A and B are shown apart, each in its own frame.
Chain A
């Protein structure tokens, strides 16, 4: 396995097609819709009241992640330096 020749660079992979990437993304959208719809069909056993809100976990995950990235991105303004900052 380790001594395999380097594969042909020109070979096309399934993911190289933007169309196929879109397929994955649309599947993801579909799963998201499905997951929040599932909330109508089972009984939660919450420790906190807000856990029983419809789609709470999905909403929290989405908002939490977007805020995480946006705050991190803003931190770059203050905290980012050149790669060799410490080597000077």
Chain B
């Protein structure tokens, strides 16, 4: 047992679930994360599990302070999401979810890059089944339609995710050739090999322009599948960045950009789970900035923000998932007024919204401020202002828009039942943790990689944060109540598609590809036709000269032949004497 690295037990447990059914499957689904957590807790910090594989020294288990933060929260997320999803009668989803969570855990405890690569790809392959799974919350035509959408989105997701692994493997091989080391430690962005690894991490961390798989695929997953997806892949990538590229300056600017640009999309996108995917992207930006700054405080910020983020983001996906489960839609344009019949879900959603918005006494406040303070102490004025803008923006689109359009706004007339009991329990516990971390951050600070010397609750910090957030709420209110030419200034929720970088590979490349294929095709067929004509001409010519009716094929008289023979001999003699 002690030689078994963390994560394996969850994957094996997932495989065992494939043999169970009914009540045993449900119990097993809840037990697997608990067993795996118990297994993790049995390791003293600093344990290293090594394995000799041919001539390579691998380290499938490295339990240190940095990996433990992710190890803990991945287990908590796997268990809470299992509670949330336990009613689902689809064994395939349960198996996929456990293998997915287990491989993400395996990845963060990987001490060498071969192990990392294996888990890196396994998360991709296992998680796609949460997108492809049957949408049991829908029926008839709507279900078929959703399955078609999910299948295509899942394929795009899989290509990009596996592609990230291809970059990773290429980088690892180059790096090994150059340094002879497979150790997964601080690499730094120094050459082509580390550049390839950086891009591989960047794809899964949803860097700007590499991000769109996230907003494309997550909203097409099942209601419960999206909660699993929101927790693991991207945060595994953040861990990988924190491990290999701390203090890489480029990450500060990439991260700042990531906090800002997705929120513009989040304001106008209609599908509320897509809004959540954009705000997930924005929150990853804060973590990436923390990695880029690379001080003890900022890396603590990244680790703690990942921890808090997984909980409140899961909570938000859970609450909108419950709405989707009950109403069959998560579109802002179709929802509204649900607080009347789903009051608990509404309340939990608001806790998630307050946490992501970093309201004092909610979890985001005590973790994000570590990154903000690190940026302030580094006197990065522009970056700090961008992060502050993104903080106001995240409250605007995630903190207000999500609960407002789902549960309040205009009454949609929908009167769904409250969420199922297991969903409410999962949301309740997650909401409790969000508040607990906000009110009493000490236990979280204690498990961070470095000692924390930071007090989030100072008078000025609390008041400044309230000012920022409440005035953002004021902006929302004013824009919703001010009319210009008879229309509200605030853009209404519209049934629509908003183009993002996925347009390039869903429309541009197919269009250009089609054009190239057509143009290339006509050139090719033109060439073939010309070649055929040329050959026909050649054959015609040959036929004229040597065909059955040609000059050569005629019947000759003996005299004519003798004449030609004498003529030839004459020429021969002539040349001989010359």
B340 touches A13 (CB 8 A): yes
Given contacts A47-B377, A68-B396, contact A6 B477 (CB under 8 A): no
Q: From A15, which residue of chain B is reached at the shortest CB distance?
A: B408
A7 touches B470 (CB 8 A): no
Give chain A nearest CB distance to B470 CB in angstroms.
6
A60 touches B388 (CB 8 A): yes
A85: chain B residues at CB < 8 Å are 497, 499
CA of A69 to CA of B492, assembled, Å = 11
Given contacts A65-B393, A72-B268, A73-B491, contact A57 B467 (CB under 8 A): yes
Give chain A nearest CB distance to B156 CB in angstroms.
11
B268 touches A76 (CB 8 A): yes
B340 touches A65 (CB 8 A): no
B43 at the interface (CB under 8 A from A): no
**Chain A, 34-88, CB within 8 A of any chain B CB:** 35-36, 38-39, 42-45, 47-48, 51, 55, 57-62, 64-66, 68-73, 75-76, 78-87
CA of A45 to CA of B369, assembled, Å = 14
A62 touches B472 (CB 8 A): yes
CA of A85 to CA of B495, assembled, Å = 11
A47 touches B418 (CB 8 A): no
Give chain B nearest CB distance to A16 CB in angstroms.
8
Give chain B nearest CB distance to A68 CB in angstroms.
5
B377: chain A residues at CB < 8 Å are 47
A80 contacts which of B421, B463, B466, B494 (Cβ < 8 Å)? B494
B467 touches A69 (CB 8 A): no
Q: From A55, which residue of chain B is reached at the shortest CB distance?
A: B467
A32: chain B residues at CB < 8 Å are 470-471, 474
Given contacts A44-B460, A68-B264, A82-B496, contact A58 B418 (CB under 8 A): no
B379 at the interface (CB under 8 A from A): yes
B50 at the interface (CB under 8 A from A): no
B471 touches A65 (CB 8 A): yes
Given contacts A4-B417, A36-B467, A43-B460, contact A61 B498 (CB under 8 A): no
A6 contacts which of B417, B460, B464 (Cβ < 8 Å)? B417
A47 contacts which of B379, B495, B500 (Cβ < 8 Å)? B379
A47 touches B471 (CB 8 A): no
A42: chain B residues at CB < 8 Å are 459-460, 463
A60: chain B residues at CB < 8 Å are 388-389, 392, 468, 471
A58 contacts which of B268, B468, B490 (Cβ < 8 Å)? B468
Give chain A nearest CB distance to B261 CB in angstroms.
11
B384 touches A69 (CB 8 A): no
B496 touches A81 (CB 8 A): yes
A80 touches B468 (CB 8 A): no
CA of A28 to CA of B471, assembled, Å = 9
A61 touches B460 (CB 8 A): no
Q: From A85, which residue of chain B is reached at the shortest CB distance?
A: B497
Given contacts A42-B463, A69-B479, contact A1 B421 (CB under 8 A): yes
CA of A4 to CA of B470, assembled, Å = 37
B467 touches A66 (CB 8 A): no
CA of A77 to CA of B440, assembled, Å = 46
CA of A83 to CA of B497, assembled, Å = 5
CA of A38 to CA of B491, assembled, Å = 33
**Chain B, 399-441, CB within 8 A of any chain A CB:** 408, 411, 415, 417-421, 424
Give chain B nearest CB distance to A25 CB in angstroms.
6
B463 touches A61 (CB 8 A): no
A35 contacts which of B458, B466, B495 (Cβ < 8 Å)? B466
B458 touches A45 (CB 8 A): yes
A31: chain B residues at CB < 8 Å are 470
**Chain B, 368-401, CB within 8 A of any chain A CB:** 373, 376-377, 379, 381, 384, 388-389, 392-393, 395-397
B residues apposed to A, CB below 8 Å? 149, 263-265, 267-268, 339-341, 373, 376-377, 379, 381, 384, 388-389, 392-393, 395-397, 408, 411, 415, 417-421, 424, 458-460, 463-479, 481, 489-491, 494-500, 506-507
> What are 26 A-B contacts with C-beta separation under 8 Å?
A1-B424, A2-B419, A7-B415, A9-B415, A13-B340, A28-B474, A36-B467, A38-B463, A42-B460, A47-B373, A47-B377, A51-B464, A57-B468, A58-B470, A59-B471, A60-B389, A61-B392, A62-B471, A69-B267, A72-B491, A76-B496, A76-B498, A81-B496, A82-B496, A84-B497, A86-B507
